[in-house]
């Protein structure tokens, strides 16, 4: 298995980057709509294609299983389908490529541990590198790679005693995914420092790593909570171009860059709080209060005072949350 680098500052020239968030449905650029849902036969993927045809695929080994946190991604190059989901105490992965299924396989959990809250995005990075040709002229070479970036929360007994994990899965141009190419990594172990605290307890909603794209850099990022050090943190998932020692071909490797580390005020109602993250690596945390939704904004420079939106006839709870989440955009 390959490892990947962790650095604090780096610069990589990205020519083109495509970020596709996964959920229980996804729409391709060609107008094909894919959905995944639990049914009597198991997890069923339904495709409604732009040419007015449709297709259905049943994920093997899922009939009668208790499944949740469904994530579906579609590779625009190979048309391969990729699925991760939570099943009992495991996170599972399967792919459908060239009219056949690969998997399901366990990515995490089982054997005395539990894994939950998986999330996945598909990302294609394209870098342009310069090389001196045989005639001495400088030529430009394009290097392109597709990755599935996957996160989840692993724990033993309760959510609070766990950690956020990250795993990149390379996808070849023929759609074949390689979940064994890299080792999964505990994200909190990559942080440059911690703070003294008594820990965060009873805040299961924060035990859900989030993958998102930062519009400023174009790179995917991962947000997670360190319950032991009372930190929110964001890491940038970057890519570097290296030369494969066996094939001598250029390839992308993963670089995790420190993006932001934010101390958590444990006096806030963390057990009922929700987090949204967005532009400029800014966080918005909000929670329900009597007749209102209260919230704060946070970044690595500090946090705001607690603010409040009253709800009632003129402003519903849903509208208040939508307005608050918009502060992260």
Q: Do residues 206 and 115 make contact, with C-beta atoms less than 8 angstroms apart? A: no
Half-sphere exposure of 277 (CA within 13 A, CB side): 24
Clarify whether residues 281 and 135 are in a common domain.
no
pLDDT at 2 over 70: no
Picking from 225, 250, 266, the residue at the C-terminal end of a domain is: 266
Tens of pLDDT along 180-218? 999 999 998 888 766 677 788 888 888 889 998 877 777
C-alpha dist (Å) from residue 234 to 155, 215, 263: 20, 15, 12
* H-helix or E-strand spanning residue 11: none
Clarify whether residues 284 and 246 are in a common domain.
no
Clarify whether residues 65 and 154 are in a common domain.
yes
DSSP string, 197-232: -----S-GGG---EEEE-TTT--EEEEEEETTTTEE
Clarify whether residues 261 and 291 are in a common domain.
no
| Tokens 């966080």, residue located | 283
More confident residue, 20 or 151: 151
Query: Taking Cα atoms as reference points, which of 123, 121, 139 lies closest to residue 131?
Result: 139
Clarify whether residues 207 and 317 are in a common domain.
no
* H-helix or E-strand spanning residue 324: helix 317-325
Clarify whether residues 260 and 277 are in a common domain.
no
Clarify whether residues 286 and 156 are in a common domain.
no
Clarify whether residues 46 and 78 are in a common domain.
yes
Clarify whether residues 181 and 313 are in a common domain.
no
Domain count of the chain? 2
Q: Do residues 110 and 206 make contact, with C-beta atoms less than 8 angstroms apart? A: no
Tens of pLDDT along 222-275? 999 998 888 899 999 988 888 777 777 788 889 898 888 888 888 899 988 998
Cis peptide before 195 (omega within 30 of 0): no
Tens of pLDDT along 305-326? 999 999 998 999 999 999 998 8
Containing domain of residue 326, as a range?
273-329
Clarify whether residues 323 and 233 are in a common domain.
no
Clarify whether residues 72 and 174 are in a common domain.
yes
Query: How many residues does this entry show for the chain?
Result: 329
Clarify whether residues 210 and 299 are in a common domain.
no
Paired with 292 in beta bridges are: 289, 310
pLDDT at 7 over 80: no
């Amino acid at each position: 298995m390959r490892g990947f680098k962790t650095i604090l500052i780096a610069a990589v020239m990205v020519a083109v980057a495509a970020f596709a968030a996964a959920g229980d449905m996804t729409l391709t650029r060609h107008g094909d709509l894919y959905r995944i849902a639990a049914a009597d036969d198991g997890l069923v993927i339904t495709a409604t294609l732009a040419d007015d045809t449709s297709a259905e695929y049943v994920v093997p080994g899922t009939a009668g299983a208790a499944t949740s946190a469904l994530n579906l991604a579609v590779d625009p190059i190979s048309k391969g389908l990729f699925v991760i989901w939570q099943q009992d105490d495991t996170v599972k992965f399967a792919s459908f490529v060239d009219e056949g299924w690969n998997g399901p396989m366990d990515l995490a959990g089982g054997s005395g541990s539990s894994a939950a809250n998986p999330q996945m995005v598909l990302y294609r990075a394209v870098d342009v590198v310069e090389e001196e040709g045989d005639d001495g002229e400088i030529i430009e070479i394009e290097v392109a790679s597709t990755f599935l970036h996957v996160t989840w929360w692993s724990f033993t007994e309760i959510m609070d005693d766990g950690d956020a994990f990250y795993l990149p899965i390379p996808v070849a141009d023929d759609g074949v995914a390689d979940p064994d190419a890299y080792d999964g990594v505990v994200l909190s172990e990559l942080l440059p420092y911690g703070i003294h605290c008594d820990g965060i307890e009873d805040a299961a909603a924060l035990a859900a790593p989030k993958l998102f794209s930062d519009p400023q850099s174009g790179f995917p990022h991962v947000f997670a909570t360190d319950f032991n050090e009372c930190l929110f943190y964001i890491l940038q998932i970057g890519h570097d171009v290296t030369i494969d020692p066996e094939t001598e071909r250029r390839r992308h490797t993963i670089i995790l860059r420190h993006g932001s580390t934010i101390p958590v005020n444990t006096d806030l109602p963390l057990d009922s709080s929700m987090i949204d993250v967005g532009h400029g690596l800014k966080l918005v945390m909000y929670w329900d209060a009597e007749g209102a939704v209260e919230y704060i904004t946070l970044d690595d420079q500090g946090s705001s005072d607690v603010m409040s939106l009253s709800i009632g006839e003129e402003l519903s709870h849903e509208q208040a949350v939508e307005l608050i989440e918009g502060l992260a955009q």
